[in-house]
Amino acid sequence: MSLTAAPVAFIGLDELSVELAASFLRSGACVRSFTPEAERSPSAALAELNGLLQCASPVEAARDAALVVVLSDAGGVDELFFGVEGIAKGLCAGSIVLIHSTLLPSQLEKLEQELTDQKKDVFLLDGYIFTGLSDELKQQIIIVASGRQDIAEKASKFFHGLYKTIYFAEGEFCTSRKIRMVNDLLEGIHFVASIEAMYLGVRAGIHPTIIYDIISNAAGSSRIFVELVPKLLSEDPLLIDFLKSTRKKASHVMDMSKSVTFPLPLLGVAYQQLVHGSSAVTGDGSASPLKVWEASFGVNIVDAAGEQIYDASKLADQLVAESKAAKRIGFIGLGAMGFGMASHLLKSGFCVVAYDVYKPTMARFADLGGSTKGSPEEIAKDVEILIIMVANESQADSVLFGNAGAVPVLSAGTSVILSSTVSPGFVIHLNRRLEAECRQIKLVDAPVSGGVKRAADGTLTIMTSGTDEALHCTGSVLSALSEKLYVIKGGCGAASSVKMVNQLLAGVHIASAAEAMSFAARLNLRTRRVFEIMQHARGYSWMFGNRVPHMLDNDYTPYSAVDIFVKDLGIVSCESSNSRIPVHVSSIAHQLFISGSASGWGRYDDAAVVKVYETLTGVKVEGKAPMLSKEDVLQSLPSEWPEDPIDNLVPIASHSSKKFLVVLDDDPTGTQTVHDIEVLTEWPVEALVEQFLKLPTCFFILTNSRSMTADKAMLLVQTICKNLKAAAEKVPGVSYTIVLRGDSTLRGHFPEEADAAVSVLGEMDAWIICPFFLQGGRYTINDIHYVADSDRLIPAGETEFAKDAVFGYKSSNLRQWVEEKTKGRVLENQVSTISITLLRKQGPTAVCEHLCSLEKVSVEMVSMKSMEDRDQEIRRIVELGNAYIQSRKDTLILTSRQLITGKTPEESLEINYKVSSALVEIVRRIDSKPHYIIAKGGITSSDIATKALEAKRAKVMGQALAGVPLWQLGPESRFPGVPYIVFPGNVGDNSALAKVVKSWASPSRSSTKEILLNAEKGGYAVGAFNVYNLEGIEAVVAAAEAEKSPAILQIHPSALKQGGVPLVACCIAAAEQSSVPISVHYDHGISKSDLLQALEAGFDSVMVDGSHLTLGDNILYTKSISSLAHAKGLLVEAELGRLSGSEDGMTVEEYEARFTDVAQAEEFIDETSIDALAVCIGNVHGKYPPSGPNLKFDLLKDLRALTLKKGVSLVLHGASGLSHELVKPANKP
């Protein structure tokens, strides 16, 4: 029974498993369910889906199911599995049970043992099933399964291809449950922190909706905050269930912390607050926790939410529109944030004069073109606006009122922007002091959020408050620094109150990330993998995503120091005390930061709070791959694949004798593992032609490029590739594959050399990176690359090689190494792995299938340094564009996504013009007529239409998508009649452009399998016609188009020997251009070597003809080709029985002919996994005997019933010369 056909059972249902079950139903699977009485509401929703079988008991649902998904709490699990009607009684041999439960790991291990004792051939996997909440996997169902590796990989096949479903296999049994506990820990802490923050903010006088709107988009945000607060403010009845669920999950984590003896101070106090929130009781049931919180905090938050609201963002827009221009800015405080802010103002055209106590930082600012002064007093003279961005209240007071302070020399009417994080009380007091100066000095309370990078980019979130006049004077500056700007009513101190709420959450989230990752390390989880999974889960926060990488890298270079949060959470503690608001979780977080500072880590990055846990418990969060025992690791690996794949590869190579490997070796050591291979040290075209004419299997070109700079190495590789391309064109039939040989310790010019090769040779299906080198002791295991040192395996990133001054790197994980070396252009999750398990357990065919299944991605990099480079790149892109369009490929011409601006608006416009003119020139030179044209962006659309396509008029025909006009260009244009889609830059989401492209993309030609499946559904037969030349191809396609019928072009081995690759290419081209579905089929493959060649020739399907063999030999022969063909996505036809007669020089005498036996046919289909079966019922090749046809339609009927049952297409050869009356009965369903 195939995996897709096997029943799938669900025991227990919730909303998420309902979605998962629905996905199985959509895929055509048989789905059964059993739902306990208490959970019937999700089951009712699932019952509306067609095909669900609802069962009365667990045993009935699980009976003979290949996969059983169990959702269970700790209570009652024994009865559920081993009771009178328990799951175990229905499980069949080989069944896989995936359990998503609240059981502790020890309880799961006990369950696994009991199940194994009762059912030795049934397998249990631990599952963590949740809905993806990241932008990348939004609304996807994510399954993290752990257990025996081979079983987890087998289970993946059930989920492969399911609608909106992602499956991960991760670690040994119970790993998934432990990962879920890490998430539950985060959820519990974030829940209570969100409650504390909201009540503190409301007590400070801020409308709760405004707090929510701002924090949701700031560094203090978390997914729990975003989900919880709306329920809190609307008194949603679901809030009670949310609280109960969070409390229950937290209790399980607390139990686990006791069992592994690991302190969880943040969760411990959060758990007590969850219990306290659940303590309100009405009658026999729980009441809303709002009553408890109102009594604790003295705030009715629902009433506060009902008060009149204003739009803080719209007030900011109005402020910016009405703000006064300001040019001369004083800036005090060039720390990590301040330097970015000041430098961005400089780039934005403001005149900035700056001061900082640290002289090297002032020198850096001067290098950017800024002015510097020696004291706050000197800075303050003659500035219109003074910005203060220092670390704390004491420093702010000092630079304003201390020795050589700014305030005494400020001009009347100057505006002071205070962007430091200080207490609201300090801001209120400072405003009073400035008012007392009686010089109309205006204070703007404007704390910022967003981090160092956003400060430099001018994309901060800024909360601001003050008098209307003060805000109008500073609006242009605040706008230049921010992506999100909010005006908070309430005067000075109001904005700092919002920032205080943000810092409460941010500080708790950093500390909770430290607690969670330390707990993960104590549970022996792979911390880097936990981080990857948490990014998609409910327990994620902005700070978790931003700070955990510092912990994993053990890199505490300060961006925001531990001491900053000692100060910020101290503000929270002080203000909450003054407001009589208890903030238990943030107080514990404050103590953790104080502990870190007391331990000497105060100047470290705030992520170093994790060191408090590491020091206390001895765990290490750092995501380093450990050193391993070489002997132990090699012994633990699966045994090698028993067959030598060379046996199959050699015939392919011998029949494709003009396919070569050309190795570009970046230093001479690359030849140490080969022999009888020529090495070229020079590469003129003539030398390469001479080499190609020798028909070598492989040859090396010694580039020695590792000794060069990246730019020179790229230029060298481009030159060699151009010469190779020119040489190949002079030797007919030559094709070659480039291998870029680098160092097995991951040193070399990657990805620069690969980019250089692609820039000349065009896009590649994939880049395969294989640094394994047995003789040198280089091993890649579970994505980690190791260097052997005596009896140890050391992760490559920990060796001296990784510290190379030119080619240094940090990552030992090859997927992370690719992301690191490509600077994020290729992300870790875009890199696929061919594992040792796949290589050794499933062999070459599985590797081939894996490679063929990968989505093809093209990356085209264009770098230009001069006008000559520009023209060269334009010529190259035009050449590629014409080639792609002629090949009916959708072609994307993409400019750099990096925003490059000039020092002035005029310079920026000039840059825009140069980029646009290059794009116009490319399109103008492309002379191949495209199927359609999409121009993205208003200015781009205009320039392309008028300058590149020479259109003088156009007609709007409608909309390609809402807001995306579809034009028809005038007859004078270069491509009249070609649809021109004008895609505005501000329309649609990230997927909008892809949707339009998909709807206009050239349809792919139909495969033989699709043609036959459609025929099966439509109840008609499809003709297959042997062709020998272009005229025959044209005749078949013309007839098919006239009849509006699909057809199959067949090439017999003898015709292939005569016509060769050009005959196949003509068939493929005709199929691509045809208006009806046409496929290309290789007929009567009786030679294995010929079939192997046919698999590489571009056919849609092949016929494996072993009809001349015994049944057993026919099965073996067909099976060997079938697996290879299926790996390439080709349909496989085979013949059982033998037709008499002659066809293309192949003759079978009557005494050799035999009818197809139904029983043998069933065995043959089961053993070979073919897609189509050619049978003999008295039909013959060529002319029928004088006595006429003698067709056994009863036998055909039986064979038809069999093939229908097996899902195999039925093929009849020998239709030539038969009358319509005889063909018609054979075509009856």
Q: How far is the first Cα of the chain from the last one, in angstroms, to the nearest whole number?
A: 26
pLDDT above 90 covers a percentage of the chain that reads 47
Q: What average pLDDT does range 1095-1105 have in this prediction?
A: 89
For the cut 70, the answer to whether the pLDDT of residue 449 exceeds it is yes
User: Which residue from 1065, 1112, 1060, 1117 is spatially nearest to 1087, judged by alpha carbons?
Assistant: 1117
Residue 700, token pair as written in the block: 């090396």
Q: Is the Cβ–Cβ distance between 161 and 27 less than 8 Å?
A: yes
Name the one residue in this structure whose structure tokens are 């290490």.
620
Point out the least confidently predicted range of 227-236, 438-447, 1131-1140.
1131-1140
For the cut 60, the answer to whether the pLDDT of residue 1142 exceeds it is no
* Cα–chain center distance at 367: 40
Distance, in Å, from the CA atom of 361 to the CA atom of 342, rounded to the nearest integer, reads 12
- What residues does 780 pair with on adjacent strands? 785
Distance, in Å, from the CA atom of 176 to the CA atom of 130, rounded to the nearest integer, reads 11
* Cα–chain center distance at 907: 37
- For the stretch 539-559, pLDDT in tens is 999 999 999 999 998 889 888
What's residue 408's pLDDT? 95
Instruction: Give the 3-state secondary structure of residue 674.
Output: coil
Q: What does the DSSP 8-state code read for residue 540?
A: -
- For the stretch 126-141, pLDDT in tens is 999 999 999 888 889 9
What's residue 48's pLDDT? 60
User: Which residue from 515, 512, 454, 462 is spatially nearest to 223, judged by alpha carbons?
Assistant: 512
Pairing of strands 628-629, 8-11: unpaired
Which residues in 1214-1228 are b (16+ Cβ under 10 Å) and which e?
Answer: beeebeeebeeebee
Distance, in Å, from the CA atom of 517 to the CA atom of 510, rounded to the nearest integer, reads 11
For 102-140, list the strands marked E by DSSP. Answer: 123-131
**Band of residue 422 on the pLDDT scale cut at 50, 70, 90:** very high
Number of H helices, E strands in the chain: 47, 40
For the cut 70, the answer to whether the pLDDT of residue 813 exceeds it is yes
Provide the Cα torsion 922, 927, 933, 934; round to 10°: 0
User: Which residue from 1148, 1144, 1137, 1143 is spatially nearest to 1210, judged by alpha carbons?
Assistant: 1137
- 3-class secondary structure per residue, 939-975: HHHHHHHHHHCCCCCEEEEEEEECCEEEEEECCCCCC
Point out the least confidently predicted range of 551-555, 682-686, 824-828.
824-828
Distance, in Å, from the CA atom of 1131 to the CA atom of 201, rounded to the nearest integer, reads 66
For 995-1129, list the strands marked E by DSSP. Answer: 1023-1026, 1047-1051, 1078-1085, 1101-1104
Distance, in Å, from the CA atom of 12 to the CA atom of 10, rounded to the nearest integer, reads 6
Element (H, E) at 1133: strand 1131-1136
Which residues in 718-733 are b (16+ Cβ under 10 Å) and which e?
Answer: bebbebbeebbeeeee
What's residue 726's pLDDT? 93
Residue 935, token pair as written in the block: 């121009």
What's residue 478's pLDDT? 97
Distance, in Å, from the CA atom of 478 to the CA atom of 458, rounded to the nearest integer, reads 10
Instruction: Give the 3-state secondary structure of residue 1020.
Output: coil
For the cut 90, the answer to whether the pLDDT of residue 871 exceeds it is no
Distance, in Å, from the CA atom of 234 to the CA atom of 227, rounded to the nearest integer, reads 12
Which string of DSSP letters, residue by residue, matches 652-673? HHHHTTTEEEEEEESSGGGGGG
Q: What are phi and psi of 877, to 5 degrees?
A: -65, -40
Point out the least confidently predicted range of 305-319, 564-578, 1168-1182.
1168-1182
Q: Is the Cβ–Cβ distance between 466 and 438 less than 8 Å?
A: no
Most confident of 288-297, 671-680, 994-1003, 1191-1200: 288-297
Q: What does the DSSP 8-state code read for residue 38?
A: G
**Band of residue 860 on the pLDDT scale cut at 50, 70, 90:** very low
Q: Is the Cβ–Cβ distance between 371 and 352 less than 8 Å?
A: yes
Cis peptide leading into residue 684 (ω within 30°): no
Distance, in Å, from the CA atom of 806 to the CA atom of 816, rounded to the nearest integer, reads 19
Q: Is the Cβ–Cβ distance between 622 and 555 less than 8 Å?
A: no
- For the stretch 344-354, pLDDT in tens is 999 999 999 99
Instruction: Give the 3-state secondary structure of residue 92.
Output: coil
User: Which residue from 1167, 1155, 1152, 1083 is spatially nearest to 1117, judged by alpha carbons?
Assistant: 1167
What's residue 883's pLDDT? 73
Instruction: Give the 3-state secondary structure of residue 138.
Output: coil
For the cut 60, the answer to whether the pLDDT of residue 1221 exceeds it is yes
Which residues in 632-654 are b (16+ Cβ under 10 Å) and which e?
Answer: ebeeeeeeeeeeeeeeeeeeeee
Distance, in Å, from the CA atom of 852 to the CA atom of 843, rounded to the nearest integer, reads 15
Residues belonging to the active site: 499
Q: Is the Cβ–Cβ distance between 70 and 100 less than 8 Å?
A: yes
Q: What does the DSSP 8-state code read for residue 1005?
A: P
Distance, in Å, from the CA atom of 597 to the CA atom of 570, rounded to the nearest integer, reads 13
Instruction: Give the 3-state secondary structure of residue 1221.
Output: helix
Most confident of 64-73, 821-830, 929-938: 64-73
- For the stretch 1119-1135, pLDDT in tens is 989 888 887 889 999 98
Q: What are phi and psi of 504, to 5 degrees?
A: -55, -50
Element (H, E) at 1172: strand 1172-1175
Other residues' Cβ atoms within 10 Å of the Cβ of residue 230:
14
Q: Is the Cβ–Cβ distance between 961 and 988 less than 8 Å?
A: yes
Q: How big is the chain by its Cα radius of gyration, in Å?
A: 36
Please provide the average confidence, as pLDDT, over all residues in the chain.
86
What's residue 312's pLDDT? 94
38 CB burial (10 A radius; 0-12, 13-18, 19+) = exposed
Distance, in Å, from the CA atom of 807 to the CA atom of 768, rounded to the nearest integer, reads 20
Distance, in Å, from the CA atom of 447 to the CA atom of 234, rounded to the nearest integer, reads 29
pTM of the model: 0.60
Point out the least confidently predicted range of 148-157, 243-252, 796-805, 942-951.
942-951
Alpha helices in 260-392, H assignment, sequence order? 265-277, 290-297, 301-305, 312-322, 336-347, 359-367, 376-380
- For the stretch 731-786, pLDDT in tens is 988 888 889 888 778 888 899 999 999 888 887 777 888 888 776 788 888 888 88
Which amino acid is residue 1192, in one-letter code?
K
- For the stretch 253-268, pLDDT in tens is 999 999 999 999 999 9
Helix axis angle for 710-730 and 752-761, nearest 10°, is: 30
- What residues does 10 pair with on adjacent strands? 33, 69
- In the chain, what are the domains? 8-173 (3.40.50.720), 182-307+501-617 (1.10.1040.10), 312-401+410-488 (3.40.50.720), 646-774+804-853 (no CATH), 867-1000 (no CATH), 1008-1226 (3.20.20.70)
Instruction: Give the 3-state secondary structure of residue 813.
Output: strand
Q: Is the Cβ–Cβ distance between 891 and 885 less than 8 Å?
A: yes
Q: Is the Cβ–Cβ distance between 123 and 96 less than 8 Å?
A: yes
Residue 96's alpha-carbon distances to 8, 14, 154, 1069, 1168, in angstroms, are: 10, 20, 9, 47, 26
- For the stretch 84-111, pLDDT in tens is 999 999 999 999 999 999 999 999 999 9
What's residue 866's pLDDT? 46
Distance, in Å, from the CA atom of 301 to the CA atom of 385, rounded to the nearest integer, reads 38
Distance, in Å, from the CA atom of 324 to the CA atom of 345, rounded to the nearest integer, reads 16
Distance, in Å, from the CA atom of 365 to the CA atom of 331, rounded to the nearest integer, reads 11
